[in-house]
Amino acid sequence: MLGEQTLTNRPIYLDCHATTPVDQRVLEAMLPFFTENFGNPASINHIYGWEAEAAVKAARQTLADAINATPEEIIFTSGATEANNLAIKGVAEAYFSKGRHIITVQTEHNAVLDPCNYLRSLGFDITLLPVQPDGLLDLNQLEKAIRPDTILVSVMAANNEIGVLQPLAEIGAICRNANILFHTDAAQALGKIPLNVDAMKIDLLSMTGHKIYAPKGIGALYVRRRNPRVKLSPQLHGGGHERGMRSGTLYTPQIVGFAKAVEIALTEQESENQRLTQLRQRLWEQLSQLEGIYLNGHPTQRLAGNLNISVEGVDGAALLLGLQPVVAISSGSACTSTKTTPSHVLIALGRSEQLAYASLRFGIGRYNTEEEIDQVAQSAIATISSLRRQPLLNSSATH
């Protein structure tokens, strides 16, 4: 499907952890809500409002069912960044008289780390747990970090760089026993692995649409309503939408598309995970024929479509530049306006700066084919081999 839309000669898209295209079925479900059914779901006096409200209600039910929650526990947001901010700052404000200690992990997304850093500047105490070399959290370390004044533990479900899946049920049990709220950023996990907020004892869960073939700009936060009932301070004040926890007119077309995307992802989850695992293995088998290629993250406790490798003896920037015409992927470095820094996730795994810079994150998705994987593998092997043959050119490249 994507192939039809893609102009020839554009690089193969293997960056599905960054974002995904909108599925045609999602787009079709959304379209009527831009034009004929354009009503405001909060308009209670006429059919335009009622129609929109009915669509939002059905979507809310779909999202709740996807994680074994109830519809009243779903708050729509603009994405996972907003959901994480609402969860972390909202809990911090509501519980600060109980305690000011929050536990999270070094390998979290910046949408968790930055709200925590902000809270630190306000006087909260933040513990950043390290991870093991495979990216998994050490549960003993988590237990040891818990204090009487701990109010929240935030651990992501699936990592956006290395795909590693944290043991949510075990973490949830530890938190519930200690009477501490458990938040998980499930932006990469929703629709890809089974999520059950009751079985996993999750109290808050962040979601987003654009990683699962829905549009950008829509997400949700699950907030537990019973056993325990989570208190949350709203971060957006206004018309009192979403039971006062997130004011702002609901974005009906995006909400409808988000629910459709979740429905498709769940229906296809098992078969798609098998297909993606095969593609990932096909890619890894070819790449690992080269010397000095290292897999980042746990070999099996990871998202089916994720492969993250570090490459010895090449410059990270030169590697990415060489691959750019063939494949759209991300590397393990983040460019800010002034400098390039190695991925904080790969550094947390204990990788050297060189290996953290010279890394590639492959995010394989719904529209990728075996032929594309083979083409990318061949191109990567050729690029790496050629860079290794040119040590001077290679080492003179700058970050």
Ligand X SMILES: *Cc1c(COP(=O)(O)O)cnc(C)c1O
Q: Among all residues, which ones are annotated catalytic?
A: 335
Listed in sequence order, the residues at least 6 apart from 305 whose beta carbon sits closer than 8 Å to its beta carbon are 16, 163, 192, 276, 279, 280, 363, 364, 365
Q: What does the DSSP 8-state code read for residue 331? A: E
Cβ distance to ligand X smaller for residue 150 or 208: 208
Asked if residue 15 binds ligand X (CB under 6 A), the reply is no
Cβ distance to ligand X smaller for residue 53 or 161: 161
Pairwise CA distance, residues 119 & 38, whole Å = 39
- Which of 12, 21, 26, 81 is the binder for ligand X (CB under 6 A)? 81
Q: How far is the CB of 219 from ligand X (least distance, A)?
A: 5
**Other C-beta atoms within 10 Å of 328: how many?**
15
Cβ distance to ligand X smaller for residue 49 or 217: 217
Beta pairing partners, 335: 340
Cβ distance to ligand X smaller for residue 109 or 351: 109
Burial group, residue 148, by CB count within 10 angstroms (0-12, 13-18, 19+)? exposed
Pairwise CA distance, residues 29 & 15, whole Å = 25
Asked if residue 363 binds ligand X (CB under 6 A), the reply is no
Asked if residue 160 binds ligand X (CB under 6 A), the reply is yes
Site residues for ligand X, window 252-281 (CB under 6 A)? none
Site residues for ligand X, window 167-196 (CB under 6 A)? 185, 187-188
- Which of 14, 55, 156, 175 is the binder for ligand X (CB under 6 A)? 156
**Omega of the bond prior to 228 within 30 degrees of 0, cis?**
yes
Q: How far is the CB of 185 from ligand X (least distance, A)?
A: 5
Residues that bind ligand X (rule: CB under 6 A) add up to a total of 13
Pairwise CA distance, residues 145 & 155, whole Å = 13
Cβ distance to ligand X smaller for residue 80 or 326: 80
Q: How far is the CB of 78 from ligand X (least distance, A)?
A: 7
Asked if residue 232 binds ligand X (CB under 6 A), the reply is no
Asked if residue 109 binds ligand X (CB under 6 A), the reply is yes
Contact pattern for ligand X over residues 49 through 78, marking x by CB under 6 A: ------------------------------
Asked if residue 80 binds ligand X (CB under 6 A), the reply is yes
Cβ distance to ligand X smaller for residue 210 or 351: 210
Asked if residue 342 binds ligand X (CB under 6 A), the reply is no
Asked if residue 333 binds ligand X (CB under 6 A), the reply is no
Listed in sequence order, the residues at least 6 apart from 217 whose beta carbon sits closer than 8 Å to its beta carbon are 78, 79, 209, 210, 251, 254
Burial group, residue 327, by CB count within 10 angstroms (0-12, 13-18, 19+)? buried
- Which of 21, 39, 41, 79 is the binder for ligand X (CB under 6 A)? 79
Asked if residue 330 binds ligand X (CB under 6 A), the reply is no
Asked if residue 235 binds ligand X (CB under 6 A), the reply is no
In the complex, residue closest to ligand X by CB: 79
List phi, psi (to 5°) of 103.
-110, 130
Listed in sequence order, the residues at least 6 apart from 11 whose beta carbon sits closer than 8 Å to its beta carbon are 324, 325, 326, 327, 328
Cβ distance to ligand X smaller for residue 19 or 37: 19
CB 155 within 8 A of CB 105: yes
Helices (H), the chain: 2-5, 24-30, 47-66, 80-95, 110-121, 139-145, 168-177, 252-287, 316-323, 344-348, 353-357, 370-389, 391-396
> Which SS3 state, helix, strand or coil, does residue 263 take?
helix
Residue ranges binding ligand X (CB under 6 A): 79-81, 109, 111, 156, 160, 185, 187-188, 208, 211, 219
